[in-house]
Amino acid sequence: MDKYFYEMELNWVLKKEGQKSEVWFDGRQVSLESQDIWGLINNSAINKIIITMAQRLEGHYPLKTEFITQVSALEELEGINSGEAVLSNDLALLELAKERGYKACAYFNIEGREALESAWQDAANYDYILVDFDLPTNIPLELIIARLQKSEIMVLKCVTSLSDMEIAFGVMEQGSDGVAFASTDIHEILKVSDYLQKNDSWKVELKPLTVAEVRHIGMGMRSCIDTTGLMTKDEGMLIGSTSQGGIFVCSETHFLPYMNLRPFRVNAGAIHSYVWMPNDAAEYLTDLSAGSEVLCVNTKGEVRRLSVGRIKTEVRPLLLIRGEADGKQINVIVQDDWHIRIMGADGQPKNASMIKPGDQLLAYVSDPGRHVGIKVNETILEK
């Protein structure tokens, strides 16, 4: 793997660690009579909204709401608390707002190169800029991000769907700092709210597992999960034989004497195994294919989504590793080879063929009982 591309994605991962992208709901075009829309927004994970002064005065919003108020005249500032954000395309008005202690968000509707150049230069005066473009290309956004990357200015892009939002967050590796999401489609609003809820709890609790048995079990089929991303040395996936939990199998980012590293790969294990996925779902390795999503986890329990590019299955000797974590029996069957790494409870990888009873590994403990990978409340016994 080319070192440049590996370091490029590693930098992206490190930049994203602890960084939370902003999502504002742009409700300026939503009538206050649209109670189904406003009721959904008010009870969703969305708490930052862009509204007009009239909407602010006449509407009813929960206490969690953080307003970004569109202003068109100086006197409108009198109805807004100092320190809040105000939005306008009137740059002179925003300068006055800043002098009075407001956070300023400048709106730029960019059409053509001259407007783009003018926008990023003017942006230097404000806390936020909200940008919209005349064409459905991300090149103008890339240029804005590149020119402002060393500044403290928060760049937000206008979007109308979850897919547009995810693309904006991926532009130029680091993505825009946020989006202003405008839609009256209830399904899109629900998807964005669901996205925010998932990212608010984007962590799993890992437990120490004490190894009770390590056994060679002969030949079988095992699968490698090749992803479209790059993993770091403290990342891998949760793989297990039962729904009670999985053991942390490392990415192929650790020393291999006879071959290049494969930082996009986890040599996951026997084909019957579960791999944990977003939303605490689990999937059989045999059911994964190009385009599937899997959960990448690090030693702190922080997780992110990775897309599968390929599943590579071959016949190999297999090794059973069984132990107990948090009172539950968990096992994983992996390829029986020194180069397979399992993450130790101390955050250091262990060579699979050198693991012995008494060793401690990292594991994820789950409530047992799944049907097609989804948790169910019924009695299911697995050994």
What is the chain's mean pLDDT, rounded?
Answer: 86
Q: Are residues 89 and 169 in the same domain?
A: yes
Which amino acid makes up residue 90?
A: D
Total number of domains constituting the chain: 2
- Return the C-alpha torsion angle 67, 73, 78, 81, nearest 10: 20
Domain boundary among 157, 172, 200: 200
Please determine, for residue 367, whether its predicted confidence score (pLDDT) is greater than 60. Answer: yes
**pLDDT value of residue 4:** 44
Domain boundary among 200, 223, 244: 200
Element (H, E) at 325: strand 303-325
Q: Which of 161-175, 188-202, 334-348, 362-376 has the highest mean pLDDT?
A: 334-348
pTM above 0.75, yes or no: no
Q: Are residues 234 and 220 in the same domain?
A: yes
State what percent of residues in the chain have pLDDT above 90.
56
Q: Which two structure tokens, joined as six digits, stand for 193?
A: 């709210």
Q: Which of 40-44, 193-197, 287-291 has the highest mean pLDDT?
A: 287-291
Q: Are 252 and 261 in contact (CB under 8 A)?
A: yes
Please determine, for residue 192, whether its predicted confidence score (pLDDT) is greater than 50. Answer: yes
Q: Stretch 270-298: mean pLDDT, rounded?
A: 92
**pLDDT value of residue 381:** 59
Q: How far apart are CA 105 and CA 51, in angstroms?
A: 13
Give residue 43's domain range: 21-200
Domain boundary among 184, 200, 216: 200
- Written as one string, the DSSP assignment of 89-156 is S-HHHHHHHHHTT-EEEEEEEE-SHHHHHHHHHHHTTSSEEEEEESSS-SHHHHHHHHHHTTSSPEEE
Residue 45 lies in a domain: yes
Higher pLDDT, 48 or 369: 48
Q: Are residues 191 and 234 in the same domain?
A: no
Q: Are residues 174 and 219 in the same domain?
A: no
Residue 3 lies in a domain: no
Helix, strand, coil content of the chain in percent (nearest 5) = 25, 40, 35
Q: Are residues 280 and 220 in the same domain?
A: yes
Q: Are residues 137 and 222 in the same domain?
A: no
State what percent of residues in the chain have pLDDT above 70.
88
Size of the chain, expressed as the number of residues it contains: 383
Q: How far apart are CA 64 and CA 47, in angstroms?
A: 6
CATH number at residue 353: 2.170.16
Q: Are residues 67 and 106 in the same domain?
A: yes
CATH number at residue 138: 3.20.20.70
Please determine, for residue 368, whether its predicted confidence score (pLDDT) is greater than 70. Answer: no
Q: Are residues 232 and 187 in the same domain?
A: no
Q: Are residues 240 and 341 in the same domain?
A: yes
**pLDDT value of residue 169:** 84
**pLDDT value of residue 200:** 54
pLDDT in tens, 251-267: 999 998 888 999 999 99
Q: Stretch 104-119: mean pLDDT, rounded?
A: 86
